[in-house]
Chains A and B, each alone.
Chain A
Amino acid sequence: MRIGAFIPELLRHLFKKPATVDYPFKKLSPPEGFRGTPYLHPETCIVCRACERDCPAEAIEIVELSAAEKRFRLTIHNDRCIHCAQCVDSCPTDAMRMDDKYEIAAFSRWDLKAAWEYVRAVVKPKAPAPAPAAPAPSANPPSDNG
């Protein structure tokens, strides 16, 4: 039985570079597929409200601004968002996406809200996962707002 078997290991590490990085001077980049903050691509949102319904934190709010113009406002309350990316999974048209930002602290919760005002898009929802996505634009109902 030897006393202090850990000491050689400790001494060896005196000459190795540290296991940590000098944050915030050096930053590690998050891996591919990192779940950062959700954001909207208003061009493709068909206002199906799937994201609003499935968001576990109730962080997505969609209000209709004008029924005639089909204008909507989608707000993501990032102060409530738990970064689960369920909205991305639920969205049938890939309008909801995730960025890879991780330094998202703010001084006020109101700075964390992100809102988009847009006219509802007319896009055929992508086919359910197993079948190959083959959009057929001609099948869309005619629309008056493009």
Chain B
Amino acid sequence: MKVQIPIGPQHPALKEPIGLRMTVEGEVIHDADLRLGYNHRGVEKVAEGRSYIQNLYLTERICGICSHSHSTTFAQGAEILFEIVPPKRGQFLRYLVSELERVHSHLLWLGVAGHEAGFDSFFMYVWRDREIVMDILEMISGNRVHYAINTIGGVRRDIDEAQRTKILDLLAVLRARTSFYLNLGTTEPSFVGRLAGVGYLSKEDAMSLCAVGPTARASNVPRDVRKDDPYGIYDEVPFEVCTADTCDVLGRTVVRIKEVLQSYDIMEYLLRNLPAGPVAVKAPRRPKPGEIVSRYEAPRGENIHYIKSNGTDKPERLKVRAPTLGNYAATIAMLKKGFIADIPLIFAAIDPCICCAERSVELVDSRSGRPSVVRWSELRRMAGRRAARDSKKRNVEWPL
């Protein structure tokens, strides 16, 4: 018997309302359908009516977690249109904040993954450590979420020597804690068993469906804008693109833990080699007419902004492609042949910030058309029961 399950679209706490309709047979998902466009905020249209400097703060509010990613992508593009180059120190600080943001986003994700897998103590510990990153960000920029550190032509705030040493000290603490989580996998088989094999996305699918970010890298596609098309200072900073070949949620976890450690290396490099000098150059109010595409590796994947200037102080057109959009097609492929109970985990694994807010699922019997609602907590209990039954994953090894 085939049953359709709609999830979403609207939920008060959802950042990105999304309509998911799944056809299931028993517990197995046969088909998934994604409906977008429930949260059209008109950001691109608003951007046409604001000056470049105002748009910096507008683009920052496209996302609540990777706020710096969007404002940096916009600033990078605008700086090319304005024909200015930010000073070295400004660039180092800008990408320092980028990496801090990546760390806080990945730690947030790890916590959510722990929560969805039923490992709540892991969730609490990771989030406690994430506070350190938030404190560093607040110290540098004056705010925890919307750092507003970018300006066109550099960054708005400098750091002093005391702050620099303090950040380095805190990074050492963070590195020690992250190493603890890295080793945790080898000794916590239930966690690994829960993640392994869930949400399979083959390398070919990841390529053909244009997956981005950690989702693609976990399917062994070494795609990272920082390496493929280096922007800012990334051509001089040594780092590695982290991949995994398990193609499942376990791989996505591994990629993110490895990336966090890479980010610590990048940040330490940036802080130890921080050049002296100004942090920003003054930007004119009007750019030359022209158009530009700016790319940036956000924590969730490649972020693209297209800006068209007509010579006035406002852009004629701004187009934003956020990374989660790039991953939706791949999500459908992951959901197919999965279990209903794995929906939270699979969805959480592309890091769309939708899962943590979703609390109930409606099951519609396709014959009688009678809907039945399953609470999110019941879904998680189902997941736990299924994982307990599943013995073949007992011997999965932590790949790190």
Contact = CB atoms under 8 A, between A and B. Distances in A.
Interface in B312-336: none
Given A35-B148, A56-B57, A129-B282, A6 B188 contact: yes
A10 B146 CA distance: 33
Interface residue SS majority, chain A: loop
Contact of B187 (A1, A56, A129): A1
Interface in A1-15: 1-6, 9-10
B229 to A, nearest CB: 29
B231 interface: no
Nearest to B60: A84
A76 to B, nearest CB: 16
A19 B173 CA distance: 15
Contacts of B282: 128-129
Contact of A10 (B61, B121, B188): B121
Interface string A13-33: 000000100000000001101
A19 to B, nearest CB: 5
Q: Interface of chain B, helix or strand or loop or mixed? A: helix
B332 to A, nearest CB: 34
Contact of B142 (A19, A82, A85): A85
B189 to A, nearest CB: 6
Q: A interface, how many residues as a size bin?
A: 20 to 34
Contacts, number: 69
Of A2, A3, A84, most buried by chain B (CB within 10 Å of CB) is A84
A54 B54 contact: yes
A54 B121 contact: no
Contacts of A128: 282
Interface string B83-113: 0000000000000000000000000000000
A69 interface: no
B115 interface: no
B145 to A, nearest CB: 10
A54 B53 contact: yes
Given A82-B146, A83-B143, A84-B146, A31 B184 contact: no
Contacts of A53: 51
B352 to A, nearest CB: 24
Contacts of A54: 51, 53-54
A6 B143 CA distance: 33
Contacts of B151: 89
B139 interface: yes
Given A5-B188, A6-B184, A128-B282, A84 B57 contact: yes
Given A31-B139, A56-B57, A85 B148 contact: yes
A132 interface: no
B131 interface: yes
Nearest to B57: A56
Contact of B157 (A6, A9, A33, A57): A33
Contact of A33 (B121, B128, B142): B142
A146 interface: no
Contacts of B56: 56
- Which 3 pairs of residues, A with B, have the shortest CB-CB distance? A5-B187, A56-B57, A56-B54
Given A31-B142, A54-B51, A82-B61, 4 more contacts: A34-B143, A56-B50, A56-B57, A86-B54
